[in-house]
Amino acid sequence: MTIEGGQTLNTTALKPLGSGLLALAVALATQSSQAASEAEQIIQGKCLACHAQEGDQQWSRISHQRKTPEGWLMTIARMQIMHGLEISDEDRRMLVKYLADRQGLAPSETEGARYALERRLNTQESFESQGFTEMCARCHSGARVLLQRRPASEWEHLVHFHLGQWPTTEFQALARDRDWLDLALNKMVPELAETQPLDSEAWIAWQQQAEAPVAGDWTLAGHMPGKGNFHARMNVTSAEGEDQFTLTLTGEYADGTVLAGTGQAILYTGYEWRANIEINDQMMRQVFVLNDGQLNGRMFLRDQDEVGADVVAVRDAKGTSRILALQPSHIKAGSEAEISIVGTGLSGLPILGNGVDVVEVLSASPDLIRVRARASANGIGVSTPAVGAIEGERFVVYDRIAAVKVVPEFAVARIGGNGSSTPKVEARFEAEAWAAGPDGKPGTDDDYRIGMVPANWAVAPFNEVADADGDVRFSGQMNANTGVFTPAAAGPNPQRRMMTNNAGNLKVQATVQDGAQTLSAEGQMIVTVQRWNNPPIP
């Protein structure tokens, strides 16, 4: 339906940042000033056809905004798509780097909105400002706005651009019932200029920061829904080009699957780590924040970004010892299990907690200690494990699972394929186990999280309409073992009522076996139509 969703900028052709960096980056200078001067030459040659020179290294519009690398990429791509800019991929990469470094966001300015950069597209946004929600987050993610900084004059330009480019904006639901343009110009512009101003102390302070070391060896710990935990080592070597690196990654999943590949990375704004790495013949993308010798973020399939892992990584450095993760981080009282302690600079005896005996150290290296552990009933609860002199993370001993939650509680899958331009988007669920805590009653404040546990998965109609329409039959398949839901094909389905597509509204049901007891939990999944407009920041 074109009226309600009349904004159809098609940017699906955009490739994420950094693809083929090495292949095209051979000629890039390593000196920052040299790169800057090259970028400025590109601006002179490409941008000043429309933008005005305002002073030394100052250009109209361009010099009055700050954005993430993805934000700048989208801006330049829009110039290509809508305004006839012709620019090579190499020059575009150069400009994105230059602009993100010179006019980026401080790390603190991206907090709370990084889910959009990390392509966590199941995030349910919620904002205090109703005006912001209805004016901005009605058509695209609020995060897209939160990841920009502008003065009032530039926010005003943005309002005029929106209504000029998509004139139905003021006629759509949540706009046609109010004086949209007046609200946009006279309420929203001042609000954004106040909450997201161009000038900020955080940005000034960030620019004074010393460059953090990146090259070296890193330990990664991650968790991928539908697949499980993994740990890996990643070698980072400086490459030609400013803040560019080559990567080699080797590791394994908890199920023994090898994780190995090579790739390239680029560091924007001193902390925005973006890498493309080909792992087991699939291109994966890393969107991390570099902070205090650690990388945090998400690694996901470049072409199927719902498939991804939360990742934390730490760089080997003399005098640095850190526990990154315990895999798994829980054990049932009275049982024995193999536990991996992932980190850097690990040396000494691992202690998992009261009542947990390390029966055998299976292997030990500074980045990975594997032990066989046995838990007794007197250590029930949460402990902070230690290796030698260092402590970190948490380890849980439980006697019984009191409750299970489906995570995420609400998810969106999308039909696709079938000759359409858009692939299917899966949904991935996990069962999160909770213990009742000392009071023995679930649902109280002393409950504690045990962790993700295996479950049996199924879907059911969410309501009577879903039942009558046969959503379970038509919308896709749930893998009973992995919790991965694969939606059905796109397009009208003549077998369905009113020839509708394979959309559906489903209950997601998890069944967990804990000894003799069976626990169940429920979530909701909407299987809906394709996301036609899928730019780097949704």
Partner 1 sequence: MDNKQLTSLMPVAALILGVLLPGSVLAKEPALEKEHEYMVVANYPNNIHVIDLQTDQLYKSCELPDAFGPGVTQIAPDGKTAYILNNHYEDIYGVNLDNCEVTFHASMSLQKGERTKSIFSFAISADGNELYAVQNPTMLYRDHYRVQPPRLAVYDTGAGLNAKPIRTFPSPRQVTVMQTGDDGTLYMAGADIYKVDVNTGKVDVAIPSRNWQRPLYAPPDVLNAWPIQSPSKDFTILYTTAKFQDESYNLETADWIYGFMNVNLETGETETTDFGPLTEIYFTGIRSPKDPNLVYGVLNRLAKYDIKKKELVQAAELDHSYYCIAINHDGSKIYLGGTFNDVAIYNADSMEKLGNIQLPGGDMAISTSQIFIR
Q: Out of 14, 19, 61, 460, point to the residue binding partner 1 (CB under 8 A).
A: 61
30 three-class SS:
coil
**Tokens standing for residue 316:** 């080997």
Burial status of residue 6 (CB atoms within 10 A of its CB: 0-12, 13-18, 19 or more): middle
In one-letter notation, the amino acid at residue 40 is: E
Q: Can you spell out the DSSP letters for 283-312?
A: EEEEEEEEETTEEEEEEEETTEEEEEEEEE
Cβ 85 to partner 1 shortest distance, Å: 12
Q: How many residues contact partner 1, by CB under 8 A?
A: 29
Is the Cβ–Cβ distance between 30 and 241 less than 8 Å? yes
Residues 176-215: x where in contact with partner 1 by CB under 8 A, - otherwise, as a string: xxxxxx----------------------------------
63 near partner 1, rule: CB under 8 A:
no
Measured from the CB atom, the residue of 173 and 204 that comes closer to partner 1 is 173
Measured from the CB atom, the residue of 170 and 338 that comes closer to partner 1 is 170
Cβ 48 to partner 1 shortest distance, Å: 10
Q: Out of 20, 112, 167, 388, point to the residue binding partner 1 (CB under 8 A).
A: 167
The footprint of partner 1 on residues 476-495 (CB under 8 A) is 492
164 near partner 1, rule: CB under 8 A:
yes
Cβ 157 to partner 1 shortest distance, Å: 5
Cβ 411 to partner 1 shortest distance, Å: 26
CA 347 to CA 387: how far, in whole Å? Answer: 6
362 near partner 1, rule: CB under 8 A:
no
In one-letter notation, the amino acid at residue 443 is: G
Q: Out of 160, 209, 237, 421, point to the residue binding partner 1 (CB under 8 A).
A: 160
Q: Out of 78, 157, 374, 449, point to the residue binding partner 1 (CB under 8 A).
A: 157
Q: For residue 141, give the DSSP letter.
A: -
Cα-trace Rg, the chain: 25
429 three-class SS:
coil
Q: Secondary structure of the chain: what % helix, strand, coil (to 5)?
A: 25, 35, 40
**Tokens standing for residue 261:** 């590949």
Measured from the CB atom, the residue of 152 and 460 that comes closer to partner 1 is 152
60 near partner 1, rule: CB under 8 A:
yes
26 near partner 1, rule: CB under 8 A:
no
**Tokens standing for residue 418:** 């079938």
8 near partner 1, rule: CB under 8 A:
no
Cβ 462 to partner 1 shortest distance, Å: 19
Helix 32-42 vs helix 89-102: crossing angle, to nearest 10: 120
134 near partner 1, rule: CB under 8 A:
no
Q: Can you spell out the DSSP letters for 471-488?
A: HHHHSEEE-TTT-EEEE-
Cβ 1 to partner 1 shortest distance, Å: 8
**Tokens standing for residue 281:** 């013949």
Write out the residues near partner 1 by the rule CB under 8 A: 2-3, 50-52, 60-61, 157, 159-161, 163-165, 167-168, 170-171, 173, 176-181, 492, 498-500
